[in-house]
DNA sequence: CGAGGGTTTGAAGTGCATCAAATAGTGTGG
DNA sequence: CCACACTATTTGATGCACTTCAAACCCTCG
């Protein structure tokens, strides 16, 4: 394949085309409808996945069905690849939440490459470190930010942080999903968004949100955060 | 040095003695009192640390002093080493919480070794993946377990999981610290521990806790968890 | 013995969850 | 293009878990 789509994944950029050829030889592309399950937590892992379009939710759940959302990803992201360090078991379940085109590749091919290509191992290490930082921030947010502040923080991370003047922010997916991503109930999300609106003067119209000035959100959301500028570098998947 | 102490760190075990010699050449050992700060969040990072004895708290805090505890570590653990993937800034602050002996090493030496020793990069990747899993579990616990269940889970992870019969569990550090580690207030910890006692029949005597049967704790704490057996493999630092 | 932290207990407040129901929005078949 | 079905979202009412503030108790250590 002349245009290895996986080069869109930042940390795979260091790989050469021979490797992508190998991966592509065993690649499978499929279309998925909303609600389809790609794999379940602790399933035997043989493939990893690249999202061409659509949205995928990564989550875990208890026996009685309470879910904990690990992440929600869109085009350009891969997932399931860390299974090679997890005894070849998926560390979470994956469900399509918006109609998606997804390509899967052999985990074995990836594993072999990592074992012999130190550059790849290193850039994967950096990616893991970044993820680690994001998780730390997530834990911090959940414990010291309230619901409204978490929403404000979420919005801030959806936009370019040097943007100025009035901005339109579009929620990337259902409010219910956003709520689960932020670890709150839909009802709480609804009320907390209204509170955020009243406190900061943002305008909410369905899934579109208008902000006159990002500083409004900053000062409200980020007073309860350890990062200087609100969680710089820590972005959610953008639309 | 004939007995490289760093070999106690699982993922450094793959390194050869030449590397440990290099590290040791630039090593510095110091004693620290309770309360001493080793470095602050976003300080320039040049050293990483190995704990010979004592306890160290890793944390971040907001401008108004609210802390978020990242981890609490004891002998045999290293910290600060991931700064090499974080633009050479420490991703958290470190404070000694029990009198400690700590050896510091050059981050640069480590960085160079990782860049040329693929085995090390790989074992570090596994370690990072494990940490990632633990963080995911942490987020899940904080959102779906209540305070008593989190304490029960904490206790379970302090003991060998195949232990049988009556067991004595010793809290590894102050209750206040345990509380912060679990993301709750000291008062909440106190009350939640009492509740756990009433519900499971454990006996609490200061910082010693007696359990007749681990199943008591399991069924109480782990009903709200996505792992089969309670968070297998995910351990806190043990005393 | 006294000072100071660690820990518990009490009383009150707050934030979020839950349950219930109304409303808005979307896609379907007629 | 409309009516219906179904889902998403909002709103209201209530309850519970945890926090906060205050005070007592306890333990250790100089």
pLDDT confidence of B106, banded at 50, 70, 90? Answer: very high
Could you say which of B122, B128, B183 has the minimum Cβ distance to residue A129?
B128
Under 8 Å between Cβ of A49 and A104: yes
Can you give the distance from the CA of residue B187 to the C1' of nucleotide D24 in angstroms? 14
Model confidence pLDDT, tens digit, residues A26-63: 999 999 988 899 999 999 999 999 999 999 999 998 88
Question: Which of these, B168, B162, B193, B178, lies nearest to B237 by C-alpha position?
Answer: B178
Residue A108's φ and ψ, nearest 5 degrees, are -60, -45
Residue B39 to residue B171: CA distance in whole angstroms = 26
Could you say which of A82, A135, A228 has the minimum Cβ distance to residue B135?
A135
Residue A212 to residue B70: CA distance in whole angstroms = 35
Residue B61 with chain A: CB contacts under 8 Å:
226
Q: What predicted TM-score, i.e. pTM, was given to this entire model?
A: 0.91
Residue B148's φ and ψ, nearest 5 degrees, are -65, -40
CA B208 to mean position of chain CA atoms: 20
Res. B51: pLDDT tops 80:
yes
Residue A135 with chain B: CB contacts under 8 Å:
132, 135-136, 139
Res. A110: pLDDT tops 50:
yes
DSSP 3-state percent helix, strand, coil across chain A (nearest 5): 45, 25, 30
Residue B231 confidence (pLDDT): 65
Residue B163 confidence (pLDDT): 74
Residue B18 confidence (pLDDT): 95
Residue A239 confidence (pLDDT): 47
pLDDT confidence of A230, banded at 50, 70, 90? Answer: low
Helix, strand, or coil (residue B98): strand
Residue B229 confidence (pLDDT): 55
Residue B239 confidence (pLDDT): 47
Locate A94 and state its tokens: 């994956």
B116 CA: distance to closest CA in chain A (Å)? 8
Res. B209: pLDDT tops 60:
yes
Locate A16 and state its tokens: 């050469």
Residue B166 confidence (pLDDT): 87
Q: Checking phi first, is residue B169 left (phi over 0); if not, alpha (psi -120 to 50) or beta? A: beta
**Residues at the strand D interface (CB under 7 A)?**
A 174-176, 186-187, 189-191, 193-194, 204, 207; B 146-148, 183-185, 187-188, 191-192, 206
Res. B206: pLDDT tops 60:
yes
Could you say which of A64, A68, A82 has the minimum Cβ distance to residue B129?
A82
Model confidence pLDDT, tens digit, residues B120-152: 999 999 999 999 999 999 999 999 999 999 999
pLDDT confidence of B48, banded at 50, 70, 90? Answer: very high
Can you give the distance from the CA of residue B27 to the C1' of nucleotide C11 in angstroms? 54
> CB B166: neighbour CB atoms within 10 A?
10
Q: Which positions of strand C lie within 7 Å of protein CB atoms?
A: 6-11, 15-20, 25-26
Under 8 Å between Cβ of A22 and A112: no
Return the CA Rg of chain B. 19
Model confidence pLDDT, tens digit, residues A85-94: 999 999 999 9
Can you say whether the dihedral through the CA atoms of B12, B15, B16, B17 is positive or negative?
A: negative
Nearest CA in chain A to B62: A226
Can you give the distance from the CA of residue B154 to the C1' of nucleotide C14 in angstroms? 27
């Amino acid at each position: 394949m002349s245009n290895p789509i996986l080069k869109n994944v930042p940390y795979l950029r260091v790989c050469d085309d021979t490797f992508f050829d190998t991966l592509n030889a065993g690649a499978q592309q499929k279309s998925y409808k909303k609600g389809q399950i790609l794999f379940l937590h602790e399933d035997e892992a043989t493939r990893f996945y690249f999202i061409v379009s659509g949205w995928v939710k990564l989550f875990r759940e208890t026996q009685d069905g309470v879910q904990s959302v690990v992440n929600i990803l869109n085009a350009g992201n891969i997932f399931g690849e860390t299974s090679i360090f997890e005894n070849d078991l998926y560390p979470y379940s994956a469900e399509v939440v918006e109609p998606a085109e997804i390509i899967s590749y052999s985990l074995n091919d990836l594993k072999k490459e990592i074992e012999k290509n130190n550059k790849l191992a290193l850039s994967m290490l950096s990616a893991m470190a970044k993820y680690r930082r994001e998780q730390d921030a997530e834990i911090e947010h959940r414990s010291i930010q309230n619901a409204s502040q978490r929403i404000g923080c979420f919005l801030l991370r959806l936009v370019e942080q040097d943007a100025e003047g009035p901005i339109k922010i579009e929620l990337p997916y259902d409010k219910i999903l956003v709520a689960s991503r932020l670890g709150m109930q839909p009802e709480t999300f609804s009320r907390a968004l209204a509170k955020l609106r009243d406190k900061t003067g943002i305008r909410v119209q369905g899934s579109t949100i208008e902000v006159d000035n990002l500083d409004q959100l900053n000062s409200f959301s980020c007073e309860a955060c350890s990062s200087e500028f609100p969680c710089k570098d820590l972005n959610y998947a953008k639309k």
